[in-house]
Amino acid sequence: MSTTTDNSRSTDLLARNIRHFINFCKAESLSRQSIQIYQVSLDYFYWWCTHLGNVPLDPKEVTFEDIIEYVVYLKTPQEARWGLKVRRDKQKLSVASINTYMRGLKVFFNHLESKKTIVKSPIPRDYKVFSKKDPLPTKFQKNLAQEQITKIFTYLTDPENLSRYTGYRNLAIVSLLLDSGMRKGELLSIKLGDFDWENSRVFINGKSGPRTCFFSPSTEQALNFYFDDYRSKQRDYMHETDPFWFTSDDHPLTYEGITTFLKTVKQKTGVHFSAHSLRHTFASLMVEKVSIYDLSKLLGHSSVAITEGYTHNSVESMQRVFTNNSPLATYDYGQLKVKTRRGRPKGAKNLKRGEDEG
């Protein structure tokens, strides 16, 4: 659905400004996923304005009251939404979906305000779609434990799964996401000619620009299985510029395709995770072994400050770092002829934390 690009409505100011905003996002080289989210969010709002909201098609005249009515529409179960009949189990939008649609709308109006197209956004900057009383969605785990990773790969390597196209492809996808830390959109951007097989590298167009990602021999094996047994047989799509990831019926894999198969893995294994969880897990495992500056480069972050949000150092992991790198770890006090003691100093049991003996 793309109501904002209909020629019959190209003269109204709301549609025109939406179109200009999407073009601005493209000119700023925003990720394909971000642009798609903004387009869908604004198409949905436009549909509501023209069919149910009775809102003037001029962004200057959209009020906070109009926004509240739209939020009520999003939160209310609908048998038909956006003019389309909805399955019973899909009649209520998830909290995540509503937040996504409203975030796109908020960015749009903030953009118009910054360009002085409107005096002020109808959505206050501190407005929250959901209050503390609203039920929150079950969140995906940011970091996966080793036993959870084992569960996922046990399912993916099951012989029954590996007997079909999607089995080898999905194993290769999860392996590469976890092994490289790349984003889902970056993975989907990979073309056949982007691989440097000799050096176990792949070149991607990242969110912050082009970069190189690396993969291990086990991931290379999974990639080879997928390519040799299935992908290479799709001979009409074997040019260097063709997508690496395909469906079994010769269509490029989409965001929805990855989300659908990850949902199946989640249901079969009981591990509540997403593609972004694999990226977080990569970061948490790497941070104990490399500097945060190197990790920032591996993740494709524009600054180290962003990378810090991906690191979750426990007391135990920090102690390991200290133990291995203490400046006095190898210093020998033997010449002082002090008796070797273990544990706390004698008399420490009488001291409370934070006290001293003066």
Inter-helix orientation angle 275-286/255-269, to 10°: 70
Whether the Cβ atoms of residue 287 and residue 304 lie closer than 8 Å to each other: no
pLDDT of 59: 94
pLDDT of 55: 86
Say how far apart CA 177 and CA 149 lie, in whole Å: 12
Inter-helix orientation angle 95-114/13-27, to 10°: 90
Give the global pTM. Answer: 0.57
In tens digits, what is the pLDDT along the chain, a chain of 358 residues?
A: 555 544 444 458 999 999 999 999 999 888 787 898 999 999 999 999 999 888 888 999 999 999 999 999 999 998 888 888 877 777 888 888 898 899 999 999 999 999 999 999 999 988 888 876 555 555 555 789 899 999 999 999 999 999 999 999 999 999 999 999 999 989 999 999 999 999 999 999 877 678 899 999 999 999 999 999 999 999 899 999 999 999 999 999 998 899 899 999 999 999 999 998 999 899 888 887 788 888 888 888 877 777 776 665 556 666 766 777 777 766 666 655 545 555 555 555 554 544 444 4
pLDDT of 316: 61
Backbone angles phi, psi at 169, to 5 degrees: -65, -45
Query: Could you give the C-alpha distances from 332 to 33, 182, 326, in angstroms and in order?
Result: 57, 45, 13
pLDDT of 200: 94
Query: Could you give the C-alpha distances from 236 to 110, 232, 242, 251, 254, in angstroms and in order?
Result: 45, 10, 10, 11, 19
The one-letter amino acid code at 216 reads S
pLDDT of 346: 57
Query: Could you give the C-alpha distances from 48 to 44, 78, 143, in angstroms and in order?
Result: 6, 13, 38
**3-state SS record for the chain:** CCHHHCHHHCCCHHHHHHHHHHHHHHHCCCCHHHHHHHHHHHHHHHHHHHHHHCCCCCHHHCCHHHHHHHHHHHHCCCCEECCEECCHHHCCCCHHHHHHHHHHHHHHHHHHHHCCCCCCCCCCCCCCCCCCCCCCCCCCCCCCCHHHHHHHHHHHCCCCHHHCHHHHHHHHHHHHHHHHCCCHHHHHCCEHHHEEHHHCEEEEEECCEEEEEECCHHHHHHHHHHHHHCHHHCHHHCCCCCECCECCCCCECCHHHHHHHHHHHHHHHCCCCCHHHHHHHHHHHHCCCCCHHHHHHHHCCCCHHHHHCCCCCCHHHHHHHHHHHCCCCCCCCHHHCCCCCCCCCCCHHHCCCCCCCC
pLDDT of 6: 46
Topology of the domain covering 146-308: hpI Integrase; Chain A (1.10.443)
pLDDT of 7: 41
**Beta-bridge partners for 214:** 201
Which residues touch 306 (CB under 8 Å, ≥6 apart)? Answer: 296
Nearest residue to 62 (alpha-carbon basis) of 95, 93, 17: 17
Say how far apart CA 277 and CA 286 lie, in whole Å: 14
CA gyration radius for the chain?
A: 26
